[in-house]
Amino acid sequence: MKSKKTKLFQFFTLADERNDVHTSACAMMRDFMEQMDLQNIKLMLSEIETLSDLDTEAFCSKLEKAFLHMRVSGNTILQSAEGRCNRCHPGVASFTFKGTITPWHMSFLFHVKDDKVVDVHECFGMWSMFPELDSEYLLLLEEPEIQVEDSDWSSDDPPF
């Protein structure tokens, strides 16, 4: 019995296309990222236990928040450009995804093995085809934790 992911892959590609970087599983993942299609991203990554050193559910949850941020900023679709990792993973399929309305952007590396995306890493130091990228609009999956300190305020005293 074939898995849903295999059926999905065969739906999008022909056997002789699967080794082509533009029609492979990598290209499918790129398309799903551009569409912010979390359902199909989860389907493609369903057999993977960890992504970017996180469990798959945690990674997808962070990605869902990033997509929500993109949509709230007015982006309904993302542009993508092939890039090149300058640090940790040279030679890995690398892409930057940028909003079409608001220039928030994020970059990912897709590790592919045997016609499958086997890992996805967020990349912070990628050279890409978007020279206009502003570091102020870099969207990170890992958001900082908000530290709340104990205070001497009582519920009787308003904060203003």
Q: What confidence tens digit (pLDDT) does each residue in 17-64 have?
A: 445 555 578 888 999 999 999 999 999 888 887 787 888 889 999 999
Quick check: is 136 in a domain? Answer: no
Per the structure, the count of domains in the chain is: 1
pLDDT in the model for residue 139: 92
Quick check: is 142 in a domain? Answer: no
HSE-CB of 44 using CA atoms within 13 angstroms: 30
Task: Find the CATH number of the domain harbouring 17.
Answer: 3.10.450
The crossing angle, in degrees rounded to 10, of helices 4-12 and 25-35 is 90
Q: Which residue in 123, 113, 114, 115 sits closest to 33, CA to CA?
A: 123
Quick check: is 138 in a domain? Answer: no
Quick check: is 150 in a domain? Answer: no
Buried-exposed string 126-151: b where 16+ CB fall within 10 A, e elsewhere: bebebeebeeeeebebeeeeeeeeee
Quick check: is 67 in a domain? Answer: yes
Quick check: is 29 in a domain? Answer: yes
| Residue 16 structural domain | 4-130
Q: List the Cα angle 70/71/77 in 5-degree steps.
A: 80
Mean pLDDT of the chain: 78
Quick check: is 41 in a domain? Answer: yes
Quick check: is 146 in a domain? Answer: no
Q: What is the pTM of this model?
A: 0.74
List the single range of 4-8, 68-72, 128-132 with lowest mean pLDDT: 4-8
Q: Say which residues have a Cβ less than 8 Å from residue 6's Cβ, sequence separation at least 6.
A: none
Q: Which residue in 122, 89, 92, 108 sits closest to 34, CA to CA?
A: 108
pLDDT in the model for residue 143: 65
pLDDT in the model for residue 104: 94
